[in-house]
Chain A
Amino acid sequence: MTAVARVYRWELVKLLAQKRTYLGLGAAMLVPVIFVVVLQLQSGGPNDVPLGRYIRDSGIVTPLVVLLFMSIWGFPLITALVAGDIVASETNNATLKTILPRSRERGQVFAGKALAAFTYTLVIVVSMGVVGVVAGSIAWGFHSFTSLSGTPVSAGRGLGLMFASLGVYVLPLAGIAAFGLLLSTVTRNSAASVVGTLMFALFMQLIGVLPGTESIRPYLLGTQFDAWHGFLRTPADWTPVVRAIWLSAIYIFVPLFAAYVVFLRRDVAGE
């Protein structure tokens, strides 16, 4: 096992031993269940959002509609809870001074932490997807449904598209995680990093709805949360998907590199 893999493994162990991990994961898994229960108790539906009118067609649609609602602050908050804490908590607990004089280079420690934060981001989205499909299928069955272009999509293909959508959705969320890591490294304060990361996510969404920002809107991080719509069209529209991939890469690597440089050079002093 490589040095980074060892650090990564222990970062996961640490995450699994902390309550906040389950708080975020639990929330991500609970939202689709609540969503399904509420829709079961009433006859209306979220008809004003894409796929909203087809919510009762198939359980596969459930996580896709939930994605739309969780983009504003739900997933950014859950992501920030871990990414904003993963370095700052070690500063607050003064455990950085315990691990850094061992035999792993600072860069390896940072890489393990970043990988763990991204893993958590992936896990919360996939968990929501799986729970959403199961809960939705229990309520409305596992059937074919209607795409955004109005064409039918078989259940099997729809499930594949749903997971592909989750995959694309994770990319801008990883951008938020990277920003959380940067704040966590720079501020050394867990609460400030979590709140700051959430504010960043909300700010990105806010810019997108301001008048006069139409020309930059396709390049905003918040816009990339809708890129997966391209998969749900017939034929598939790859333009937003490809843009989400390279733009998210920028939103991920710029703060990640800045955090890496700060982490390598920072003084580890104080409690």
Chain B
Amino acid sequence: MTDAAPVVARGLVKRYGDIVAVAGVDLTVEPGDIFGYLGPNGAGKTTSLRMMLGLIRPTQGRVQLFGRDPMVDGVKALQSVAGFVEGPRFYPYLSGRRNLRLLADYDEPSSRSRIEEVLETVELRDRAKDHVGGYSHGMRQRLGIAAALLRQPRLLLLDEPATGLDPAGMRDMRDLVRRLAGDGITILLSSHLMYEVEELCNRVAIIRNGSIVYEGMLRELLATATAGYRLRSREPERARTVCLTQPGIENVSLDGDELRFSADEDSVAALSIALGQARVPITQLMAETASLEDLFLGLTGGDSSDHDREAVAS
């Protein structure tokens, strides 16, 4: 079981009456991934995560966490898994430490001994004796991470952990996620914050209207967005001539002293050598890349029309 992938979802569907919240999600999270699960609000991210944590029953399909299905194996499937959906929630009338003690007693007995350590990790030790009702949003998010770490998870499912945090809080959260990943924890992170995903994740899945529209390495996704190249030269006309004679260099156009063309990486490499051999002075050669945000908007249709569907789910 231990060599099974942390998350394998196949044909995951969740319907609420006529409303389809998740329309067939397939995704695989590999060990060591910081996996970004991207989608507009209401696209089905949270519903998928709820199914992964065994909180809701899939209408069709299945999820396996390290080879175990929460619907078949119950909480045993979640043995090495922790996380939260839609923001962590605690008993407001109990202190942060008492909440963790409660949750430790809902886990294995050894969890209790880690309470002070995890409070230290999320820098909440000073406020641990205060009622959670008086905590800020950021403190609750951090307590949520602490509660997850009590279980010494190998897989952490985090649903928009930085949402609602101030810039410093967001940075701290990103640092924490990076640190946890460095400790060998696989992380599935749902988000609609592109820069967060771009900064943290190695792999991504993009969900739209309840279905996955892309799953793969983030850098491969970004590579597909290389729209073209720009070249500046002291002698643009000669540069253009060289471009036109080089194989693989297409759609060449000259705009002032700047050339634009499309090509693959190998052709660009060959072009740079050819320009050098022709003694054409180059001042700039750069790829025009679209941002993850551009790609995301392209893949998701750039709308937020998914809003109402998942609202039904919640």
Residues of A within 8 A of B (CB): 6-7, 9-10, 13-14, 17-18, 93-95, 97-106, 265, 267-271
Contact = CB atoms under 8 A, between A and B. Distances in A.
Nearest to A101: B53
A13 B97 CA distance: 14
A186 B7 CA distance: 31
Contacts of A98: 84, 88-90, 103, 147
A18 B93 contact: yes
Interface in B74-132: 74-75, 78-79, 81-86, 88-94, 98, 102-103, 105-108
A103 B86 contact: no
Nearest to B51: A267
B89 A102 contact: no
Interface of B: 47, 50, 53-57, 74-75, 78-79, 81-86, 88-94, 98, 102-103, 105-108, 147, 151, 313-314
Contacts of A9: 105
Contacts, number: 90
B56 A267 contact: yes
30 contacts: A6-B106, A7-B106, A9-B105, A13-B102, A14-B91, A14-B94, A93-B91, A95-B90, A97-B55, A97-B86, A97-B89, A98-B88, A98-B103, A99-B102, A100-B55, A101-B55, A101-B78, A101-B83, A102-B106, A102-B107, A103-B78, A103-B107, A103-B151, A104-B75, A105-B75, A265-B57, A267-B57, A269-B47, A271-B86, A271-B314
B47 to A, nearest CB: 8
B93 A17 contact: yes
Contacts of A6: 105-106
Main secondary structure of the interface of A (DSSP, over half): loop
Nearest to B131: A17
B309 to A, nearest CB: 13
Nearest to B70: A101
B56 A94 contact: no
Contacts of B86: 94, 97, 271
B84 A97 contact: yes
A103 B76 CA distance: 7
Contacts of A17: 91, 93-94
